[in-house]
């Protein structure tokens, strides 16, 4: 039986969770899930000076928000624990003794160096193809320190030991580690281990082609919720950064991504981060939500702006579901449906004034709408047609001034929906208000 697939995400908790890291985690997670394998979270926190508790928490929060659950790791434990490198010194000492016994390390200036085998080492990367480093050229590939003079171990050593100890079958990580891998292969061979398969995924660039760094716009996963993104959208967007679905379709749920994902379809060239595209993907996910789910997602954003969502919020939110790209846009989009004091767009008002007959239009609308029996979108629209007839204009010409009177805006939800949600009294009040303003 083939080994069960085991992948790991191995972040160093030195900053917040970066989109590049989240994408690595996602690809590892997708690969494990697709193959019925296991996904392990390992915290590479050996650099005491740079690790922070906040950074650790940001990793957990980000992973949880994205829905990337781990089978082994912090909190859940597992047979290969502990999953914090800072707690694994005994394991590293044991492996270091193997190198000593095999005469592969020697002391130099207080530190311990690993003796490379002087030969070419070729790796077969699942994304990048063949990469060879020729260790016969000693000046370019000096023996590397594995244990510092203070007794601490270097990244390459602990990283390799843990991949062996945790029986990782597929190392999927950023391309910045590609050139480290031959070193890792040398260590694995010296330790008598079996190397995992490697897949190095292309870096993420800013729109201008520079490398995306921690300080760049859109870099921190933790910023996305408060900017109005939903997690499935960011997951979808991250998947498209470096992976090609090989179809026209671009919008996928986590389940769909799991079915489709393959390392063969990971692109070789760097991925460009495009904030506009990310917002578009978010919009597509918002559109696909049920009205109930959309309202539940939008509610906290509305409450944060001190708006009362009120009893008919599912319908209110549904009215703008097609109009927003980010959940942060919902409060301003629904304000006129929730409160009578709403801002009036001056340009829209000017346009109504320029029509010349605004006050008459409002008067006719008020009269016709006041007589509607049962208030529905249809009966209200019929009344608008009546008003237009009485005034001798086309019904279409009434719509814009009416919309402005009801919403203060030039665009927005369907007028029938607005009329229904506002009800007769509030609609009439707003029409009368604008009539007075125009008279």
Q: What span, in angstroms and rounded, lies between the C-alpha atoms of 337 and 406?
A: 9
Q: Is 77 left (phi over 0), alpha (psi -120 to 50) or beta?
A: left
User: Residues 199, 125: contact at Cβ < 8 Å?
Assistant: yes
Bridge partners of 144, per DSSP, are 114
Residue holding tokens 């047609």?
385
Task: Out of 173, 183, 366, 409, name the contact with ligand GLU by CB under 6 A.
Answer: 173
Q: What span, in angstroms and rounded, lies between the C-alpha atoms of 427 and 225?
A: 35
CB of 18 to ligand GLU, least distance (A): 9
The window from 170-178, 232-240, 333-341, 425-433 that contacts ligand GLU (CB under 6 A) reads 170-178
Instruction: Please tell me the total number of residues recorded for the chain in this structure.
Output: 439
Residue holding tokens 């790991």?
8
Per rule CB under 6 A, is residue 169 in the interface with ligand GLU? no
Per rule CB under 6 A, is residue 86 in the interface with ligand GLU? no
Task: Out of 18, 26, 44, 145, name the contact with ligand GLU by CB under 6 A.
Answer: 44
Q: What span, in angstroms and rounded, lies between the C-alpha atoms of 298 and 295?
A: 5
CB of 218 to ligand GLU, least distance (A): 19
Site string for ligand GLU, 115-154 (x = CB under 6 A): ----------------------------------------
Provide the 3-class DSSP secondary structure of residue 8.
Answer: strand
Q: What span, in angstroms and rounded, lies between the C-alpha atoms of 337 and 197?
A: 56
User: Residues 217, 2: contact at Cβ < 8 Å?
Assistant: no
Distances from the Cα of 426 to the Cα of 53, 313, 339, 420, 432, angstroms: 52, 17, 10, 10, 10
Identity of the residue, 154 or 395, whose beta carbon is nearer to ligand GLU in the bound complex = 154
CB of 171 to ligand GLU, least distance (A): 6
Per rule CB under 6 A, is residue 159 in the interface with ligand GLU? yes
CB of 178 to ligand GLU, least distance (A): 11
- CA nearest 163: which of 146, 185, 144, 141? 185
Per rule CB under 6 A, is residue 285 in the interface with ligand GLU? no
The window from 5-13, 133-141, 146-154, 223-231 that contacts ligand GLU (CB under 6 A) reads 5-13
Per rule CB under 6 A, is residue 11 in the interface with ligand GLU? yes
Total residues contacting ligand GLU (rule CB under 6 A)?
A: 8
Per rule CB under 6 A, is residue 175 in the interface with ligand GLU? no
- CA nearest 68: which of 198, 190, 182, 238? 238
Identity of the residue, 63 or 320, whose beta carbon is nearer to ligand GLU in the bound complex = 63
Identity of the residue, 40 or 419, whose beta carbon is nearer to ligand GLU in the bound complex = 40
Identity of the residue, 131 or 428, whose beta carbon is nearer to ligand GLU in the bound complex = 131
User: Residues 37, 31: contact at Cβ < 8 Å?
Assistant: yes
Q: Phi and psi of 271, rounded to 5°? A: -95, 140
User: Residues 35, 7: contact at Cβ < 8 Å?
Assistant: no
CB of 85 to ligand GLU, least distance (A): 9
Identity of the residue, 212 or 314, whose beta carbon is nearer to ligand GLU in the bound complex = 212
Q: What span, in angstroms and rounded, lies between the C-alpha atoms of 245 and 433?
A: 53
User: Residues 40, 6: contact at Cβ < 8 Å?
Assistant: yes
Identity of the residue, 201 or 372, whose beta carbon is nearer to ligand GLU in the bound complex = 201
- CA nearest 52: which of 12, 3, 109? 12
Per rule CB under 6 A, is residue 12 in the interface with ligand GLU? yes
CB of 273 to ligand GLU, least distance (A): 18
Question: Hey, how many other C-beta atoms are within 10 angstroms of the C-beta on 152?
Answer: 14
CB of 269 to ligand GLU, least distance (A): 21
The window from 10-18, 243-251, 300-308, 408-416 that contacts ligand GLU (CB under 6 A) reads 10-18
Per rule CB under 6 A, is residue 177 in the interface with ligand GLU? yes
Per rule CB under 6 A, is residue 10 in the interface with ligand GLU? yes
Identity of the residue, 6 or 177, whose beta carbon is nearer to ligand GLU in the bound complex = 177
Distances from the Cα of 210 to the Cα of 16, 35, 221, 437, angstroms: 20, 34, 19, 54
CB of 257 to ligand GLU, least distance (A): 21
Identity of the residue, 24 or 405, whose beta carbon is nearer to ligand GLU in the bound complex = 24
Per rule CB under 6 A, is residue 228 in the interface with ligand GLU? no
User: Residues 365, 398: contact at Cβ < 8 Å?
Assistant: yes
Identity of the residue, 193 or 228, whose beta carbon is nearer to ligand GLU in the bound complex = 193
Which of the residues are catalytic?
Answer: 214
Residue holding tokens 């607005």?
418
Per rule CB under 6 A, is residue 72 in the interface with ligand GLU? no
CB of 239 to ligand GLU, least distance (A): 18
Residues near ligand GLU (CB under 6 A) are: 10-12, 44, 159, 171, 173, 177
């Amino acid at each position: 039986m083939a080994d069960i697939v085991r992948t790991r995400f191995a972040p160093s908790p030195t900053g917040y969770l970066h989109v590049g890291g989240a994408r690595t985690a996602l690809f590892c997670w997708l690969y494990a899930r697709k193959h019925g394998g296991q996904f392990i979270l390992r915290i590479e926190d050996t650099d005491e000076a740079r690790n922070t508790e906040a950074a650790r928490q940001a990793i957990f929060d980000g992973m949880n928000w994205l829905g990337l659950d781990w089978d082994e790791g912090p909190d859940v434990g597992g047979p290969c624990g502990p999953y914090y490198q800072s707690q694994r010194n005994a394991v590293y000492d044991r492996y270091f003794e193997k190198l000593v016994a095999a005469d592969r390390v020697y002391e130099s200036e207080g530190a311990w160096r690993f003796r490379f085998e002087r030969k070419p080492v070729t790796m077969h990367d699942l994304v990048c193809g063949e990469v060879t480093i020729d260790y016969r050229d000693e000046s370019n590939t000096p023996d590397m320190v594995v244990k510092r003079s203070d007794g601490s171990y270097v990244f390459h050593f602990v990283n390799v030991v843990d991949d062996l100890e945790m029986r990782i079958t597929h190392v999927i990580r950023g391309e910045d580690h590609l050139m480290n891998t031959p070193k890792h292969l040398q260590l694995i061979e010296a330790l008598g281990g079996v190397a995992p398969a490697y897949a190095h995924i292309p870096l993420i660039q800013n729109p201008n082609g520079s490398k995306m760094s921690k300080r760049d716009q859109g870099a921190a996963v933790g910023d996305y919720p408060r900017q109005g993104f939903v997690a499935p959208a960011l997951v979808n967007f991250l998947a498209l950064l470096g992976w090609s679905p090989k179809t026209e379709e671009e919008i996928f749920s986590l389940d769909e991504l799991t079915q489709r994902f393959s390392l063969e379809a990971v692109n070789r060239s760097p991925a460009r981060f495009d904030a506009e595209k990310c917002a578009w993907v978010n919009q597509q996910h918002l559109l696909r939500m049920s009205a109930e789910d959309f309202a539940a997602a939008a509610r906290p954003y509305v409450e944060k702006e001190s708006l009362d969502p009120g009893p008919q919020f599912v319908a209110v939110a549904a009215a703008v579901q097609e109009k927003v790209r980010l959940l942060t846009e919902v409060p301003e989009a629904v304000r006129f449906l929730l409160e009578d004091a709403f801002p009036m767009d001056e340009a829209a008002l000017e346009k109504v004034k320029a029509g010349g007959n605004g006050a008459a239009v409002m008067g006719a609308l008020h009269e016709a709408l006041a007589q509607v029996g049962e208030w529905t979108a249809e009966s209200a629209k019929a009344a608008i047609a009546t008003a237009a007839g009485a005034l001798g204009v086309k019904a279409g010409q009434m719509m814009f001034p009416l919309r402005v009177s009801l919403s203060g805006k030039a665009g927005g939800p369907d007028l029938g929906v607005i009329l229904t949600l506002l009800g007769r009294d509030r609609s009439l009040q707003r029409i009368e208000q604008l009539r007075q303003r125009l008279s």
